[in-house]
Amino acid sequence: MRRLRLLGPATVVLALSIGVACESTVEVSAVPVHVDSERGIKFTSVDRFSDAAGTVMRRSENLELPGPNDPIDYDADFLSHGLGPDVSDVSYYAFDVSPLKSAPVYGISYASDPSKRVDGQSPIFDHLPGEDGYNDFWQVIQVLVPDDYEPNSIRRFDDIELAGYELVDTGLIINCPIIPYGSTAVLADRSSDGWYKGEHVQYFSFETQRSSVSNPGVLDVPYAVVRVIFEDNDPSKGMKIDHATGKTRNVFDTVPGDELYRVLR
């Protein structure tokens, strides 16, 4: 099951976009390579707009979308506005559609004190956009390591399995879209680096919610409702825009701070 989703920082961030299909030919060009200049570690290539990664946002249907691994300026190209429950302005980014089943992300903590995370250790992801099982919503799996653990000596899920460390389901869902290196979104809580199969990966961090299901692999991502208004009631024409304000007519039942607020819409 897949739903339109809301990714929310300080105001509201909506992972919702309507694409208009068209026949086009995608030009093949070199994929940029990004390397951490200080540490010499490559950032893995990310493409959020391939046919495998996208649902309604596909480069094959919209040549204006950024190329593979090109940095994405979400504030310039994917930030829009709608209405809150009191008709106030809310802002949201378009991150496409997301399933209700989270993906696992692995955080490293000490077995002697599981509440203490290992300083300097980046989280470990095992999926990228376009891969089976990927989701911008991740359920945190705690990896318990000994006190003499060297930060970032684990850089991939295979390392965790090989070491045989204890894994603990937390029930925490974090909202962290993986994006090409150099991408920006000012409403994100932060932009950080993680590990993916031994290479760096950049992700946005928005917010955390607790799921009632502490088992990645089931439908565990909480969601709420957004009412989307289409031009002439035709989804193929995209969302209806108020030309005087440039805002959509989409209406959100809840916003951050409300008891029933959920990031997924």
Of the ranges 20-24, 99-103, 212-216, 243-247, which one carries the lowest mean pLDDT score?
A: 20-24
216 pLDDT higher than 60? no
CB 52 within 8 A of CB 44: no
Q: Which tens digits make up the pLDDT trace of 189-200?
A: 878 999 999 999
Whole-angstrom distance between the N-terminal and C-terminal Cα of the chain?
Answer: 13
Name the nearest CA neighbour of 74 among 88, 89, 86, 57: 57
According to the model, what pLDDT value does residue 7 have? 44
User: Which phi-psi region, left, alpha or beta, contains residue 238 (left: φ > 0; alpha: ψ -120 to 50)?
Assistant: left
Instruction: Give the pLDDT mean for 2-19.
Output: 38
Instruction: Give the pLDDT mean for 132-156.
Output: 96
203 pLDDT higher than 90? yes
Output 124 or 259, whichever has higher pLDDT: 124
Output 189 or 225, whichever has higher pLDDT: 189
Instruction: Give the pLDDT mean for 182-205.
Output: 92
Query: Side chain identity at 209, as an amino acid letter?
Result: Q
* Percent of the chain residues topping a pLDDT of 90: 45
Q: Which tens digits make up the pLDDT trace of 25-74?
A: 445 567 888 888 787 888 999 999 999 999 888 999 889 999 999 999 99
Q: In degrees rounded to 5, what are phi and psi of residue 32? A: -65, 150
Q: Which tens digits make up the pLDDT trace of 81-132?
A: 888 888 788 888 878 887 888 899 999 999 999 999 999 999 999 999 999 9
Query: How much is the CA Rg of the chain, to the nearest whole Å?
Result: 19
166 pLDDT higher than 50? yes
What angle (nearest 5°) sits at the alpha carbon of residue 243, between those of residues 239 and 245? 100
Distances (CA, A) of 103 to 19, 125, 136, 230: 25, 9, 8, 31
According to the model, what pLDDT value does residue 88 have? 81
Distances (CA, A) of 179 to 73, 74, 171, 238: 10, 10, 24, 24
According to the model, what pLDDT value does residue 154 have? 96
Output 91 or 186, whichever has higher pLDDT: 186
According to the model, what pLDDT value does residue 40 have? 82
3-state secondary structure of 80: strand
Work out the mean pLDDT of the chain and round it to a whole number.
81
3 pLDDT higher than 90? no
According to the model, what pLDDT value does residue 86 have? 81
CB 145 within 8 A of CB 177: no
CB 163 within 8 A of CB 182: no
Whole-number Å distance between alpha carbons of 178 and 161: 23
Domain boundaries, the chain: 101-210
